[in-house]
Structure 1
Amino acid sequence: MKKPIVVLGIGELGSVFARAFLKNNHAVYPITRSTDINELKASIDPELILVCTAESDLQSALSSIPSEWKDRVAMMQNELLPRDWETHNFTNPTVISVWFEKKKGMDSKVLISSPAFGPKAQTLADSLALIDIPAHVVANKDELLFELVLKNLYILTTNIAGLAIHSSPLGGVAIESGANVNDLRNNHLQLMREVSIDILKLQTALTGKTFDDEALEQGMIEAFEGDLEHGCMGRSAPARLNRALQLAQEFNLEVSTLQKIKDNS
């Protein structure tokens, strides 16, 4: 029997990973709000602890991880960047950029293969493969960072552009209510690019790195093609816009398109 795996946060995605680990002959120990982590820590020696909480709960979840497990942490949240985990003194954390979604009452839906990097990346990829979810291991930290920024660009651009429903901040035709990524790409390319410019400006500030904007746009379009009917605006879109504007203010960045969408939404 392989070593057990701890899943911190058993929501929709956490349940997918748990099933994958079970198929790979790992016992799974969930951590919920009622779990005594210290008691669990004393009873098992896990292969890894995968943090599957929502983005808003990430920092408190990372702070709760015992020091004995800090060398086997894995994360999978949207909007994840190195600054989110660097203050927690983890040893070589594993990160996967998740490109599948799971909604209540529905099977998992894959857009593209999910890239991962870190000492436990192969375990994640091998386990997901057993439930027909493609994932792959990237070569180094730079490739991982590119993949994280790409996912952030996709999520934030589509969500925030989707908020431009009633009036276009760019003076053009408003994006339709319920529009999908195919509509955004084909009918509102200028809006997509103006939003993505602001998002990339923010990602550059948050990481201290520069990125190939053409490669990122190409990657985003490839992700669009994984599910052309994927809706632009999710329930988290207003919160994502507010968070982006707050971060832009902290870094003294001008993000005029995001601000106009906020003013008109």
Structure 2
Amino acid sequence: MNEHHQHGQDAPTDRPVPLLDLHRQNRPLRDAYLAELAQVLDSGIFVLGPYIERLEERIAAYSHSRYAVACASGSDALILALSACGVGVGDEVIVPSFTFFATAGAVARLGAVPVFADLDPITFNIAPDHVARLITKKTKAIIPVHLFGQSADMDALSVIADKHGIPLIEDAAQSIGAEWRGRRVGSLGDLGCFSFYPTKNLGAAGDAGIVTTNDPELAKRVRLLRVHGMEPRYYHSIVGMNSRLDAFQGAILNVKLDHLDEWTE
């Protein structure tokens, strides 16, 4: 018997301590998850449907927005938002130089050019004064990213966007529930994009995302784009994509949403 066991101590281990232990969040909710998932299974409605509609209503209310449109991932949310604003080949979109790849990647996927702006040295969010200097005739959108749960300077960015008539698309993938002067992120620009990747403070059991907006026409366009541009069924007025969220993720997220504020605190 080694010295640690003789004194009633646990033996040292070479196993690393995980940076994030999702079991701590999920174990207490396991029974609630299973009950909701069983209802989805019994319903036979596995893509979109009432669980997704409920999630959209709740996220819209939570983010102080009129509309929310669920989709397959946060990356898809960015592509849908950019597409809804008409961004395409040869256009320029201003993005921060410090962000996850998906912010710039979504721009490039549409054939547009990501133009990288400098950062605020205190918050590491996008610097509005540099954004203003980067605008050209080709600029079709600005994407501020709310990093680490803190909002970018949306007052200054809104003034710039309004002056030039350029859509402001919030990348709030890391920051659901964050506020700027009493208003929730996702409601401050023309559209907001959220990720529910499992490691987020509101995480699905897989990939999921959502787009928020206060503009009914933009909401309608995002809904159309996420189902191949189809409305009514099998009639396609525009080229969209397949980014429908499955009901199982909606069920999990609806359970978790009740605990979001507690977890964030």
Q: TM-score range by the shorter chain?
A: 0.3 to 0.5
Structure 2 length-normalised TM: 0.37
Structure 1 length-normalised TM: 0.37
Q: Which structure exhibits the higher relative contact order, with contacts defined as CA atoms closer than 8 Å and separated by 6 or more residues?
A: 2
Which protein is richer in helix relative to its size? Answer: 1
Please say which structure displays the higher CA radius of gyration: 2
